[in-house]
Amino acid sequence: MMADDNLEELRNHHLTMTKSKADALRGLYQYKAKKFKDLKLELTTTPKGRISNLCPYCQLEIVGTLDHILPKTPFPEYSTMPWNLIPCCATCNSKKDDDWLDEHNQRCFINFYIDDIPPVQYFYADVSVVNGKNDIKYNLRFPAGYTSTLRARIENHYKKLDLLKRYLENSDDVLEELRSVIRNYAHGVPDGEIITSINNTCKDMQVLFGENYWKAVLERACVNTSAVFNLLKQPQ
Ligand SMILES: [Zn+2]
């Protein structure tokens, strides 16, 4: 029934039930229950056995809840179905709330199980030095190959989960870490070598977490923008 991207179709199969039955079904879903803990572990373990605890919606916070793609308030009958559950962080889960369709009846959040996202970058960090300080602006820029539906879904996803702002709030920590990495290279190591090495580390991160992994995108932008790189290198 759920082999493909037909979640929207489920609206047409909405079951009518009494309030007590609906409450009982919702009650089955308790994130702290052992069955759900086991399910969460299964859903967050990669085929190679690596446990990925990073929220797939934001790639910023750790998984702490199970999100219902079809919200559990209007759809209690699907609240315990594994294909309707995505492990995610509490912040994303609360920002999603019962939202799931946009004004055109299209899903407004990326579903990492079924959405076919082209493996090309659309998330960018534009970095510069302004008044002696690093300045970061995050932007979405879509290359050819993205349908308008997919593009709208990704834009909604970032907007509704407040991702650009949340990344910005966490960017100073990434820059501090990067500053420490750069300054810990032995004295005399040429800049080119440092930059290549950090770029390679970022590429490895992007293999694991995707082209648009915000930390890798930010670090690459910083080391490949000479004014920002030079500022990071300076003793504080
Ligand atoms: Zn999240």
Percent share of the chain, pLDDT over 90: 48
Q: How far is the CA of 87 from the centre of ligand 1 (A)?
A: 9
Going from N- to C-terminal start, the domains of the chain cover 4-96, 123-233
Q: How far is the CA of 97 from the centre of ligand 1 (A)?
A: 13
Give the global pTM.
0.79
**Whole-number pLDDT of residue 1:** 39
The two three-digit tokens of residue 57, written as one number: 């919606």
CA-wise closest residue to 74 among 99, 46, 41, 40: 99
Q: How far is the CA of 145 from the centre of ligand 1 (A)?
A: 26
CA-wise closest residue to 111 among 192, 56, 29: 56
Q: How far is the CA of 61 from the centre of ligand 1 (A)?
A: 5
Q: How far is the CA of 134 from the centre of ligand 1 (A)?
A: 26
Q: How far is the CA of 144 from the centre of ligand 1 (A)?
A: 27
Q: How far is the CA of 57 from the centre of ligand 1 (A)?
A: 5
**Whole-number pLDDT of residue 178:** 97
Q: How far is the CA of 27 from the centre of ligand 1 (A)?
A: 24
Beta carbons within 8 Å of 67's beta carbon, 6+ residues apart: 57, 85, 86, 87, 88, 92, 93, 96
Q: How far is the CA of 92 from the centre of ligand 1 (A)?
A: 4
Q: How far is the CA of 19 from the centre of ligand 1 (A)?
A: 31
CATH of domain 4-96: 1.10.30
| Rounded CA separation 176/198 (Å) | 14
Q: How far is the CA of 16 from the centre of ligand 1 (A)?
A: 32
Q: How far is the CA of 85 from the centre of ligand 1 (A)?
A: 14
Q: Are 202 and 219 in contact (CB under 8 A)?
A: yes
CA-wise closest residue to 213 among 95, 64, 11, 60: 60
Q: What is the pLDDT of residues 54-102, one digit of tens each?
A: 999 999 999 988 877 766 676 676 666 666 788 899 999 999 877 777 7
- Which residues of the chain, if any, have pLDDT below 50? 1-4
Q: How far is the CA of 210 from the centre of ligand 1 (A)?
A: 15
Q: How far is the CA of 169 from the centre of ligand 1 (A)?
A: 14
Q: Angle at the Cα of 179 (from 173 to 185), degrees rounded to 5?
A: 140
Q: How far is the CA of 67 from the centre of ligand 1 (A)?
A: 10
